[in-house]
Structure formats: C-alpha cells, structure tokens
C-alpha cells in the first residue's frame, strides 16, 4: 500500500 | 499599525471556518501588500496558504510588517459574534499584544468590539517553488466536494488521473470500487459550471480523501476550484477570491503505490 508523503520533503526552507 | 476594513465579515468567517480544522495556531502576516497566512497541519501532510490582498480591504493600512499570532479556535469564537453582512475592521499596533476586531452593522447603529490576545508562534515558513503543472483542472467547487465525499464512503484514498480523455477520480475499498470521470465542458449560461482541463502531460497521483474533504470546506468561498497536478509533487487546490486574493491548499501525494 502507498505511504503518505510529507509536505516538508517537497517544500523546503525559502 | 494595521487597520484593515472588510466590507463583509463573511469573507473572513468563511476563510477561518475552512482552515480551522486543519491548522490551529497561525501567524497572520500583515504588510503593505495585504494579510497572508501559511501553515502546515500537525502531521505535515497539508499546507494552507492564504493571501488577502490589500485591494480586498477598503481602506487598508499597514506601515510595517506585523505578525499576528492567533489561535483559530479563539478567532472563531469572536467571529461568531459578527453577522455575515457586518463591516469588519481589524486593528493592531506595531508591536501588538492583542488584535482588535470591530463589527459594524450596516443596517443598525450597532458596533461590537473584541480584542483577541496574540500568541508568539514560532512557525516554520516553507518556500513553495514556482511549478509548471502538468495538468490544471478548473471545475465547480461543489462538484469537487461531492466527488470527494462520495468516494470517501468507499475508501481512504483517491487516485486522480488526468489524460486526454479527461480527469478520472477513482478509489478502491473493502466494499468495492468507484470512479468519476469529467471531461472538458463549457456552459455558456452558467460559466461556474465549466470544467476546463489544461494538460501538458498525463498525470496520475494518489491522495488522502480525508484531507481533500477538509479542503472542500472552502467551497462556499468560490464557485470554481482549481486543481494543479504534476507527477510526484503536492497537489494544489486553489479557491480564487476577489481582487487576486486566494485560499490555497497543498497536499503531499501518497507514494510507492
């Protein structure tokens, strides 16, 4: 089954 | 100092109502371009990004950057005291302890005034990269809400597949499976009913329906919702507001399906 990704792994510190 | 007057309290009431179950304590970042908010949910799966441009207020005045750290449960309690049609004015000093909200009834001489104590919120601010999405779908917000609710009765997740054929929302659960497919559609009389699919390459991603159903609480803010997808990046769900203001939600995809 698929696992939930995290927003922080796509959007980093500005 | 900040002074921002909204013609209708309804706008802020709806925005706060749409995000309060996702995020609890947030900074409302005020500067001369308007009032912005960015916050992640506790599990770091979704991100809310709100922008109320200064043009959405009349008048709007904010001389320097002010972060108003507000608990949304507290704000909801106070906003409940505002009638939808009330004129709402937000006020704060330059280094404020409180934010002041004034509700004025246009029909009577009633003026209500509330102060909410501010919090010191140390919030991580994320950089959201400019993305050329592979697929952009504009559709009636009520339709999107209905699809998400219907499919959630069967499953925790939905796959969103966008191809030349259209956009397909599909799920599989214990009792069976279901799908809804939409094709581009133009309704001349009711443009809010349009479905517009702009595709540069096929996309297929899986998302948690619980979050999508939560985002749909914003449906009353806009007749249309925009979904932006690219493989392996978060989904953007955008509710456009007047004056280029917006309420956006980002949702991380499920991986390794």
pLDDT digits (tens, 9 = 90+) for B173-223: 999 999 999 999 999 999 999 999 999 999 999 999 999 999 999 999 999
Task: Please say if the pLDDT value at position B161 is more than 80.
Answer: yes
Region B27-52: mean pLDDT is 97
Cβ neighbours for B207, distance < 8 A, ≥ 6 positions apart: B157, B158, B160, B235, B251, B253, B254
CA angle B181–B190–B250, rounded 5-degree value = 50
> Smallest Cα–Cα separation from B45: which of A3, A2, A12, A4?
A4
* B59 prior amide bond cis, ω within 30: yes
What is residue B180's predicted lDDT score, i.e. its pLDDT?
98
Task: Please say if the pLDDT value at position A13 is more than 80.
Answer: no
3-state secondary structure of B38: strand
Task: Please say if the pLDDT value at position B257 is more than 70.
Answer: no
Interchain CB distance below 8 Å, B255 and A11: no
CA distance B207 to B139: 18
Q: Give the model confidence (pLDDT) of B12-25 as tens digits.
A: 999 999 999 999 99
H or E, element range at B113: strand B111-117
What is residue A14's predicted lDDT score, i.e. its pLDDT?
61
What is residue B172's predicted lDDT score, i.e. its pLDDT?
97
What is residue A12's predicted lDDT score, i.e. its pLDDT?
82
**Per-residue tokens: B142:** 């009520």
Helices and strands in chain B, H and E counts: 4, 19
Q: Which conformational region is residue B228 in: left (phi greater than 0), alpha (psi within -120 to 50 degrees), or beta?
A: beta
What is residue B66's predicted lDDT score, i.e. its pLDDT?
95
Q: Are B131 and B230 in contact (CB under 8 A)?
A: yes
CA distance B148 to B159: 11
Backbone angles phi, psi at B19, to 5 degrees: -115, -10
Query: What rounded mean pLDDT belongs to chain B?
Result: 96
Region B229-234: mean pLDDT is 95
What is the band of B256 on the pLDDT scale with cuts at 50, 70, 90? confident
Task: Please say if the pLDDT value at position B72 is more than 70.
Answer: yes
Complex ipTM value = 0.92
What is the band of B229 on the pLDDT scale with cuts at 50, 70, 90? very high
B125 vs B181: which has the higher pLDDT: B181
Q: Nearest C-alpha of chain B: how many angstroms from A9?
A: 9
- Give me the helices (H) in B39-164, please: 72-79, 141-152
Q: Nearest C-alpha of chain A: how many angstroms from B19?
A: 17
> Smallest Cα–Cα separation from B253: which of B183, B195, B211, B205?
B205
Q: Which residues of B touch A (CB under 8 A)?
A: 40, 43-47, 124-129, 157, 206, 208, 233-234, 250-257
> Smallest Cα–Cα separation from B153: which of B209, B204, B207?
B209
**Per-residue tokens: B255:** 């991986």
CA distance B164 to B170: 16
Q: Nearest C-alpha of chain B: how many angstroms from A7?
A: 5
């Amino acid at each position: 089954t698929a696992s939930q990704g995290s927003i922080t792994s796509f959007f980093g510190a500005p | 100092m900040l002074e921002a007057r909204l013609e209708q309290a309804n706008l802020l009431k709806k925005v706060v109502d749409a995000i309060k179950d996702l995020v609890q304590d947030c900074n409302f970042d005020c500067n001369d371009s308007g009032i912005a908010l960015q916050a992640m949910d506790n599990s770091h799966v979704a991100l809310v990004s709100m922008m109320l441009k200064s043009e959405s207020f009349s008048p709007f005045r904010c001389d320097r950057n002010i972060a108003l750290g507000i608990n949304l449960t507290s704000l909801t309690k106070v906003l409940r005291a505002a009638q939808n049609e009330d004129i709402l004015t937000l006020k704060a000093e330059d280094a404020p302890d409180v934010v002041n909200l004034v509700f004025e009834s246009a029909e009577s001489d009633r003026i209500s005034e509330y102060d909410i104590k501010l919090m010191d919120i140390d919030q991580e601010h994320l950089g959201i990269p400019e993305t050329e999405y592979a697929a952009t779908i504009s559709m009636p917000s009520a339709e999107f809400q209905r699809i998400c609710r219907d499919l959630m009765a069967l499953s925790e997740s939905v796959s969103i597949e966008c191809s030349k054929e259209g956009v397909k929302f599909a799920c599989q659960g214990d009792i069976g499976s279901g799908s809804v497919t939409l094709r581009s559609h133009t309704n001349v009389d009711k443009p809010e009913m349009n479905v517009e699919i702009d595709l540069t390459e096929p996309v297929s991603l899986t998302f948690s329906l619980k979050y999508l159903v939560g985002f749909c609480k914003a449906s009353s803010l806009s007749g249309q919702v925009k979904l932006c997808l690219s493989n392996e990046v978060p989904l953007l769900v955008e509710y456009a507001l007047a004056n280029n203001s917006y309420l956006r939600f980002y949702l991380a995809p499920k991986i390794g399906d």
